[in-house]
Amino acid sequence: MVDKPSAREAKRLQTRERLMGAAIAEFKRAGMADADVGAIVAAAGVAHGTFFFHFPTKQHVLLELERREEERIAKQLGRFADAEQDLAAVLREAVRLVLGLERRLGPVLFKDFLALHFSQNRPTDERNEHPVIVRVAREIERAQQAGKVAADVNPLNSAVFFLLGLYALLTTTHEWPDQSTMIDDFVAQTLRGIGARD
């Protein structure tokens, strides 16, 4: 049996969600760096200091969004992988899910979202687990155990390389007309690099 949150805790969570929604809308409009905290708190209907009570910086909003989206993508990828169990198809599905995120967030916020991965100023995130990386690594390991990936491949490292490479490609080739072809080639090169076999 799960205890319901107290009225005070429920109100705090509602306020946090309103702030998240308002911040995401402002980030989509202006980008994180140029987002106006005043506009965010006005849209959320809270005092200025309330924003900083919930999120020490604007980057912390992006970290929370990243955590939520990674969990959502990992769950969807897991359901697909459990039904499909073909590594090439799983990697293509990972690409499809990340591209879907780009469509949902819009180009401005998506660019900020990806830039967070490479930021030297990234706030310390106490959650060291990245569920999408973990899920891709699990699928590489499953293929390896089935003899379809080279025995000397490190599944976790390969998952990190794959996703960071994908994020870098999406960041740098956003306006390129042949981005789709490049991504297909990237997936094929990734599979060759880990010695994937049918």
Residues of the chain with pLDDT > 90, as a percent, come to: 70
Question: In one letter, which amino acid is 113?
Answer: F
- Measured between alpha carbons, how far is 15 from 97 in angstroms, rounded to an integer? 29
- What pLDDT score does 135 carry? 95
Q: What is the dotted CATH code of the domain comprising 1-55?
A: 1.10.10
Q: How confident is the model at residue 10 (pLDDT cuts 50, 70, 90)?
A: confident
Characterize 29-60 residue by residue with b for buried, 16 or more Cβ atoms within 10 angstroms of its Cβ, and e for exposed.
eeebeebebeebbebbebeeebbeebbeebbe
Tell me the average pLDDT across 151-172: 92
In the structure encoding, which two tokens stand for residue 28, read together? 């989509």
In tens, the pLDDT along 59-96 reads 999 999 988 999 999 999 999 999 977 999 999 999 99
Domain spans of the chain?
Answer: 1-55, 59-193
